[in-house]
Structure 1
Amino acid sequence: MDEPELLDGGQVAIPMNPFVVLPNITREEWEARGFTGPSAPRVLLGDELTPVALREQLDAIRTFDPLTSAEYDTARAVLSCGQAISDISMSPPANPETRRDYYEHVTSQLAKFDLKQEKIGMRIPPGPQQIRGIAGSGKTVLLAMKAAKMAVDHKDWTIALTFQTKSLYDHITDLTERFYRRFSNGQSLAESDSSIEIIHGWGGHTTGEGIYKRIAEATPNATFRSVTDARAEFGSDTDPQEAVAAELLATGDIPDLFDAILVDEAQDFGPHFFNMCLAALDSSNRLIWGYDEAQNLHSLRAPSPKEIFGVDDTGDPVVDLSGSYSNGVQKSHIMRKSYRAPLEVLLTAHVLGMGLLRDGGPVQAITRQDGWENLGYDVDGDFRKTGSKARLQRPEANSPHPLSTFDTAGPFVSAEAFDDPAAELDWVVDQVVADVREEGLPPERILVVPLGLDAKDRGQQLQSLLRAHDLGATCAWEGDRTEFSRPGEVTISTIHLAKGNEAASVYVVGLNNAITNPYRELVQARNEVFVAITRSRAWCTITGCTHDGAVGIMDELHTIIDIVSSDTPVVEFEVPSRSSLDHELEEDTENLTATNLTDFA
């Protein structure tokens, strides 16, 4: 045992009383073979396993001092694969003073799951399963855990774990490797004979193998198309991923290639992609996907069972994912707790992303009370009465962030408005330099996300300004796109490359540029803002300019921050009519059963 919190003077702090249980042998048979003396470890035989007899045996064993809360939490996290063994040198300081000190508490605690997450990750469904989780709820971690568990328990299965954002490759690979080593008693994926692939949703020269590439190359009379080829063939106004998947499905000859496919970032894939995956699965249709509708950057679709599998003549889903399978595994999960984003960050992202306090009303919203509850909110209001007031709160229990108990760690969300873009960039650079040189954050823990049409141009300006301060900075769109961050360098990223990645301190630059982008629908622009804000594991700073009529969005942001920064933040907004919304969220989750601890009893 190498976990420092579980060691006491070099000895394991958790004592054990081992037993050997032989349920098919009675005590009489055991002693008839000459085993009449004491044994080590103690032996329990078949006639000693009745409730009363077993209780007597357990009552007779030696007892020890109870574990402390910290020892219990650490032991459960280790045994459940909720964390890697800690580095003894990385114990967080008891009295943190700098952002570096505070963030050590974040990194030491975020890997610990609650019991619900462990159960979802460890249980393998015999068919399709969807995991609906808000930003920071650990969807990617759970999918990696499931993939590793399948690979260890079913070495004859061919398993694929796929995703959309290229820069997620290293992160997902590291997670899966960590869980596989834990489940297999230290064996690495490279050493194993398991068939598990971590591959991009498309595949090609820059990304290597991909789900679409693999299926296209295995399908008779099909041709693999690169992204460039697909756009040339189907037009720039068509989703190329959907177009090539539909083309493959039209062949009707997709072979069974996989026993399980797990899809991260599922909100970014369309129904043709899902049906292509289904066609490549064996008869179990073990397709497992995790998604957050609010992080959809490409369309207004959500990967619901109706969207993926279609409906019958009566309008009911062809595949019903309510309830549980016969082995007790739930078909659908809703994960309300956000571990990685502080309450203030998540609340700001949701309110701003939906436009709940926008002049002119929300652009997208949830119009049912149970829909808000699915996201982990308490809401008081009558959604049948358009124009009536609704009050929104987020219980602290649903945002158990490691820094929530530190009064001096915040503010976690802040904003600054400027008259011109040059002053904005200069100020952001000064704050990043202070994060590194005054607060002690490693540069690779800092992420800058410029928004809008000129995001790359502004990103390169930021890179030059940081380098002028002798601070390394890398633009994520340059070089190897499977590598998101580099040691010793601040990461500058477009929103699409940032999605799925996280950092301690995040700077969202050019809020006004996102909202005024003429090539984005307003919902998609707000979703980009939501995704950018929720990349933060601790601190988020949002900047923008007030020229070109962009005063409104900055005023809206400052109003939101004033609310979420109070001791008990309550957001009050008018209930919108469905007809006034560009998009209605949570409309396909009405009949889903929320995951509770008792569901696994």
Structure 2
Amino acid sequence: MILEDSYFYIDFDDENAIFSKFNDYANKTKKQVYVVKKALATNYSYMYDNACAVLIPNCRIMITNLKEEEKDFTTYFEDFIEDLGVLSDKYNYREVLGRPREWKNLIKKYGYNDIKKDVKDIIDDIQENNQDNIRKIELLTSLLIGSINDIKRIGKETPVTLLDKVKRKIVLFDGTQSNFIYKNYNDKKEIRIQGLAGTGKTELLLHKIRELYINEAEYSIVFTCYNTILEDDMHFRIPKFFNFMRVEEQIEWNKRLWIMRAWGSGKNYSCGVYSFICQKYDIPFSPFGKNTPRFDILCKEAVEALKLKQPPIEPCFDYIVIDESQDFAEPFFELCSMITRKQLFIAGDIFQNIFETNISTANTDFILSRCYRTEPKTLMLAHAIGMGLYESPPLRWLDDSEWEACGYIINKANGKYILTRNPIRRFEDIEVNYKTLTLTKYNNDNTIIDEIEACIQRIKANNQSLVPDDIAIIFLESDMFHNYHTANLLESMLYEKFGWSVNKGYETKQRQENTIFISNINNIKGLEFCFVLLISEKKITTNFRVRNAIYMALTRSLISSYFFINEKENEKFIEIYSKAIKQIEQNNAIIIQEPSQELKEIIKTNFVKRKNEKNDIQEIIEDLSAAYNLTLEQKDDVKMFSKKALPKSMNRNEITDRIEKIIQAVVK
């Protein structure tokens, strides 16, 4: 297994004592260090193999000789800088960096004897303190590791304000991400990757597809997923991503690169993996319909049919990339593996729903536990409220392996659990004196409008570059009739007080530029905003769906979340979590009493009992149909499709998530 939090990446197969000391430094300081012999996302090559670049945060780039040969090393050094200049031009970095002669002083040439020094002496020698230079070094590093940033987003000037520092942060891959994209694991047929929401999983898949496409010219690649919404999104995102990454080869659709949903259609076999296989190998196909068995049963039947083929079948694709693997059962993976010649990449979410029962990382090759969308304290607070960790008894308790799979470092002292998270580079160098979560009490509809206005005025006063797109206003409850009314009042206030237009996400189903986003909880998955304003107008119960909705909403924010709560209904909740917020902000940790073994059993029993309660699918459909404002015809379609797309083993939260995906496909 490739463990999460890999702080060292090396682009060399052979071991060297020099590399070991940088590995130790990276893991000790929790700073990402890279050792590369060329720019990773390129096909560049050099005659001299005994040299490399060492990339360390806040330090000038070291180009290092690993042997005593000096002449060839000098050639390598000059060629390396020339190629780096070419990349700077290719991705328009010259707008910020200038010509190579202007940034060449940020790269230090290290001879064979120089690199033998202690790491501390080396760091002291190459340390850079000028912020403008540090930013340029980060841009050069991004070119070398293939983590290309949009230079228009980054801007020319070094950001000063908190908002600009977060929005314009230069994004760099960590070691686990780089290993997934660039390393070859040819000894394994299946590569499995799991990640928390916000860990950049889909972005990594795009980079992996690009790597396979440009380096494996003769091979065919398939991207597949369960629902048509993600399939349609990838039809848009892949060409856009290839253009951004300056892929010079034209995409050969349905020859070298395929995007297909999992099931498909009998009318158009090439639109789905299952339907394509049935046509290709002449086995029975079952369309999606009223009397069709579940998809996992169909996949199992297809596997058995392929095994009976004589002579044995030949794989028809070289690589298959499966996203949202949590939507599938093992028979689909087995079916895909049978028709894949080289490798199958299986990517899924872990802990997307904080009340899911399977948090296992068994058989996982890459674990992405660093959430780059959400500041660590915000994520801790969202987990604490979602799982009721400060309540008695908590709604959910994880065992140690589950806490670790979710990115937590566990310490135990005096009967207490101390749960911390490693710092995230996106937030590690910004001010620590701002509040990541604020609870605001209100009493009625009139004051909630006033409270929202006052909140935005404060945000605006502290962030001069604030634009409407930076803010989302989210309703926690599904009472959309009341929410529509409040949304209309907010729309009037926002235009009158700020001159801002509103994008009602429950109508548009997408983000729009230069508008403030207002939505219910059903339309925010995958989105992120600098500031989130969450409104709860009723009593916050221990209902799993409500708590998971709070978790999901709070983790949409990059900087701060503001939770507006009806004071009359939630006095105890406000008291508990006002104290919890203060503790987590001060200690950068969740500090809670470890439940006794007896209490753990009670929590587990309550949890299992509630998970196994009868799931009223009709009630869920009615609730979501109202939230999505479905027509009667659309609701009937959802009912029909839900009967065949919902395995009996699903719990209520999983059923709700699946029905939402069906609704989104129906209204598309």
Q: TM-score by structure 2 length?
A: 0.60
Does the aligned pair in 2 maintain the 1:141–1:175 contact within 8 Å? Answer: no
Matches of 1:556 and 1:257 in 2, distance apart? 58
Describe the shift of the 1:264–1:563 C-alpha distance in structure 2 as closer, same or farther (beyond 3 A). farther
Which residue is equivalent to 2:412? 381
Which residue is equivalent to 1:15? none
Which residue is equivalent to 1:134? 196
Which residue is equivalent to 1:195? 256
RMSD: 4.2
1:538-594 Cα deviation digits (max 9, x unpaired)? 12112222445x43433333222111221544522223544233469xxxxxxxxxx
Describe the shift of the 1:258–1:297 C-alpha distance in structure 2 as closer, same or farther (beyond 3 A). farther
Q: 2:595 aligns with which of 571, 575, 579?
A: 575
Describe the shift of the 1:575–1:128 C-alpha distance in structure 2 as closer, same or farther (beyond 3 A). farther
Cα displacement (A) at 1:334: 2.2
Q: Which has the higher contact order (CA 8 A, sep 6+)?
A: 1
SS, match of residue 84 in structure 1: coil
Which residue is equivalent to 2:122? none
1:353-384 Cα deviation digits (max 9, x unpaired)? 222111x222222222x5433433332228xx
Of 70-79 and 414-423, more deviation after overlay is shown by 414-423
Which residue is equivalent to 1:296? 353
Q: 1:428 aligns with which of 434, 439, 452?
A: 452
SS, match of residue 559 in structure 2: strand
Which residue is equivalent to 2:634? none
Matches of 1:433 and 1:276 in 2, distance apart? 55
Which residue is equivalent to 2:628? none
Does the aligned pair in 2 maintain the 1:450–1:458 contact within 8 Å? Answer: no
Matches of 1:527 and 1:131 in 2, distance apart? 23
What code does the residue aligned with 1:564 have? I
Does the aligned pair in 1 maintain the 2:154–2:168 contact within 8 Å? Answer: no
SS, match of residue 491 in structure 2: helix
Does the aligned pair in 1 maintain the 2:324–2:349 contact within 8 Å? Answer: yes
Cα displacement (A) at 1:288: 1.8
What code does the residue aligned with 2:200 have? G
Q: 2:541 aligns with which of 512, 515, 524?
A: 515
1:221 has 2:250 as partner? no
Does the aligned pair in 1 maintain the 2:226–2:328 contact within 8 Å? Answer: no
Does the aligned pair in 2 maintain the 1:451–1:514 contact within 8 Å? Answer: no
Cα displacement (A) at 1:124: 4.8
1:480-499 Cα deviation digits (max 9, x unpaired)? x4xx2011222233434322
Listed as ranges, the gaps of 5+ residues in structure 2 are 1-43, 50-64, 79-103, 108-132, 307-312, 609-668
1:206-254 Cα deviation digits (max 9, x unpaired)? xx956667668878433432xxx56xx58xxxxxxx9334345335557
Higher helix share: 2
Matches of 1:421 and 1:277 in 2, distance apart? 54
SS, match of residue 286 in structure 1: strand
Does the aligned pair in 2 maintain the 1:511–1:542 contact within 8 Å? Answer: no
What code does the residue aligned with 1:112 have? L
Residues 113-128 of structure 1 mapped to structure 2, 5 A cutoff: 113-125=173-185, 126-128=188-190
What code does the residue aligned with 2:394 have? P
Does the aligned pair in 2 maintain the 1:337–1:400 contact within 8 Å? Answer: no
Matches of 1:212 and 1:458 in 2, distance apart? 43
Which residue is equivalent to 2:148? 83
Describe the shift of the 1:413–1:186 C-alpha distance in structure 2 as closer, same or farther (beyond 3 A). same
Describe the shift of the 1:278–1:451 C-alpha distance in structure 2 as closer, same or farther (beyond 3 A). farther
SS, match of residue 151 in structure 2: coil
Matches of 1:438 and 1:210 in 2, distance apart? 50
Describe the shift of the 1:496–1:363 C-alpha distance in structure 2 as closer, same or farther (beyond 3 A). same
Matches of 1:224 and 1:20 in 2, distance apart? 54
Does the aligned pair in 2 maintain the 1:131–1:334 contact within 8 Å? Answer: yes
Which residue is equivalent to 2:73? 58
What code does the residue aligned with 2:556 have? R
SS, match of residue 493 in structure 1: strand
Of 109-118 and 189-198, more deviation after overlay is shown by 189-198
Residues 52-451 of structure 1 mapped to structure 2, 5 A cutoff: 54=69, 57-58=72-73, 65-67=105-107, 69-87=134-152, 90-91=155-156, 94-96=159-161, 102-109=162-169, 111-125=171-185, 126-155=188-217, 156-162=219-225, 166=229, 170=233, 176-177=238-239, 180-181=242-243, 185-187=246-248, 190=251, 195-198=256-259, 220-225=283-288, 229=289, 243-251=294-302, 252-253=304-305, 258-267=317-326, 269-271=327-329, 274-275=332-333, 278=336, 281-282=339-340, 284=342, 286-293=344-351, 295-296=352-353, 299-302=356-359, 321=363, 332-358=365-391, 360-368=392-400, 370-381=401-412, 389-395=415-421, 397-402=422-427, 404-407=429-432, 410-420=434-444, 423-424=447-448, 427-428=451-452, 431-432=455-456, 435=459, 439=463, 440-451=465-476
SS, match of residue 168 in structure 2: helix
What code does the residue aligned with 1:71 have? K
Cα displacement (A) at 1:138: 2.1
Matches of 1:476 and 1:216 in 2, distance apart? 39
SS, match of residue 381 in structure 1: strand
1:294-353 Cα deviation digits (max 9, x unpaired)? x12795345756xxxxxxxxxxxxxxx3xxxxxxxxx61223333221122111012222
What code does the residue aligned with 2:399 have? T
Which residue is equivalent to 1:463? 487
Does the aligned pair in 2 maintain the 1:379–1:393 contact within 8 Å? Answer: yes
Matches of 1:263 and 1:157 in 2, distance apart? 14
Does the aligned pair in 2 maintain the 1:502–1:537 contact within 8 Å? Answer: yes
Matches of 1:462 and 1:200 in 2, distance apart? 38
Q: TM-score by structure 1 length?
A: 0.66
Listed as ranges, the gaps of 5+ residues in structure 1 are 1-17, 24-49, 97-101, 235-241, 306-320, 322-330, 383-387, 585-601
Matches of 2:389 and 2:551 in 1, distance apart? 13
Does the aligned pair in 1 maintain the 2:296–2:329 contact within 8 Å? Answer: no
Matches of 1:289 and 1:89 in 2, distance apart? 29
Matches of 2:277 and 2:563 in 1, distance apart? 42
Which residue is equivalent to 2:553? 532
Does the aligned pair in 2 maintain the 1:160–1:197 contact within 8 Å? Answer: yes
